[in-house]
Amino acid sequence: MDTISNDAIPLAYDIPYAVDITLYKYNYYDNLIITQLKKHCQYEIVSKDTSFIVTSQEFRTVLEKHFKRELSSAKSLTEVNLKYEVNSIYFIDRIFNNFTNLEYVKVNISKTREFSRVLLTPNSREIISFDYRIITSVIDLTKYFKTDEALKTANCFLKEINIIKPDSFNQGKPYYTIFAQDLITMIATIEDKFMEDVTFGEQYTDTLDILYSLIDQKTETDNSRIIIITDYPD
């Protein structure tokens, strides 16, 4: 069985590396955020007037310097007044606080004039929604498996599901890229083998536990591009 590092507990919040958010040009706070980001950050234009990319560090700095009062107010919101007083600053702050390894934010600018963040569920329950998508996630297996032997076992699992291809020259890459839904499908293809061969399944228990802990429903639904870092030890 693999050996997991005791000081590295896998959490789905650990892996988002880049997210995609939508801000509305005709919303007061959203437009202020867009203006301040373009004024104070180095950003990369993705599509003129409709989207750009900024680092999460610069984005957070803008919020802390130019929206102090709003950040303070957001922390005191309760379930009672949330839907009446919530704004994008509240949600963006939560994203930054939750996704501690986030590096980049793609900002999409919507010119839609009529929108609401209060959505009605099929059972007539009102929920607050903020439009964001996890674009890229990073699963660094070297954080969870601290010995060459444990990492080698994880790599063997990646070979079993065909992420690591046969390599006659033994020049394995230190990372591999795959979309979340494809990864889940590839894992599912060998689950029958786990049922048939207990020994086979037991050796990969920890690897499976980590992958299932990290790839949550949001990551799978967004079909996030996952970069698996493995520091190939063979």
What pTM does this model have?
0.83
CA distances for 126 relative to 31, 78, 119, 121, 213, angstroms: 25, 15, 6, 6, 29
Closest residue by Cα to residue 22 from 113, 136, 96, 133: 133
* Overall average pLDDT of the 196-217 stretch: 82
The residue out of 99, 114, 135 marking a domain boundary is: 135
> In this predicted structure, what is the pLDDT of residue 174?
82
The residue out of 65, 100, 135 marking a domain boundary is: 135
The helix, strand and coil proportions of the chain, stated in percent and rounded to the nearest 5, come to 45, 20, 35
Shared domain check, 155 and 117: no
Is 5 contained in some domain? no
The residue out of 135, 157, 174 marking a domain boundary is: 135
> In this predicted structure, what is the pLDDT of residue 4?
45
Is 188 contained in some domain? yes
Shared domain check, 151 and 116: no
Helix axes 148-160, 205-214, angle to 10 degrees: 70
Shared domain check, 131 and 74: yes
pLDDT tops 70 at residue 234: no
Q: How confident is the model at residue 200 (pLDDT cuts 50, 70, 90)?
A: low
pLDDT tops 80 at residue 3: no
Shared domain check, 130 and 18: yes
Shared domain check, 176 and 74: no
Shared domain check, 70 and 110: yes
DSSP 32-93: HHHHHHHHHS--EEEETTTEEEEEHHHHHHHHHHH-HHHHHHHHT--TTTHHHH--HHHHHH
Is 78 contained in some domain? yes
Total structural domains within the chain: 2
Q: How confident is the model at residue 232 (pLDDT cuts 50, 70, 90)?
A: low
Shared domain check, 146 and 120: no
Shared domain check, 195 and 143: yes
- pLDDT tens for 91-149 read 899 999 999 999 999 999 999 887 766 665 566 566 667 889 999 999 999 888 878 88
Judged by DSSP in three states, 113 sits in: coil
Shared domain check, 148 and 86: no
Shared domain check, 38 and 118: yes
Shared domain check, 50 and 32: yes
Shared domain check, 219 and 116: no
> In this predicted structure, what is the pLDDT of residue 2?
44
| Cβ burial, residue 83 (10 Å; 0-12/13-18/19+) | middle
Is 6 contained in some domain? no
Is 102 contained in some domain? yes
The four Cα atoms 70, 120, 80, 131 give a dihedral, to 10 degrees, of: -20
- Could you list the residue range(s) of the whole structural domain that residue 49 is in? 13-135
Query: Which element (helix H / strand E) includes 100?
Result: none
pLDDT tops 60 at residue 169: no
Is 86 contained in some domain? yes
User: Distance from first CA to last CA of the chain, Å, rounded?
Assistant: 18
Tell me the pLDDT of the chain averaged across its residues.
84
What percent of the chain has pLDDT above 70?
Answer: 80
The span from the CA of 218 to the CA of 152, in Å, is 29
Is 2 contained in some domain? no
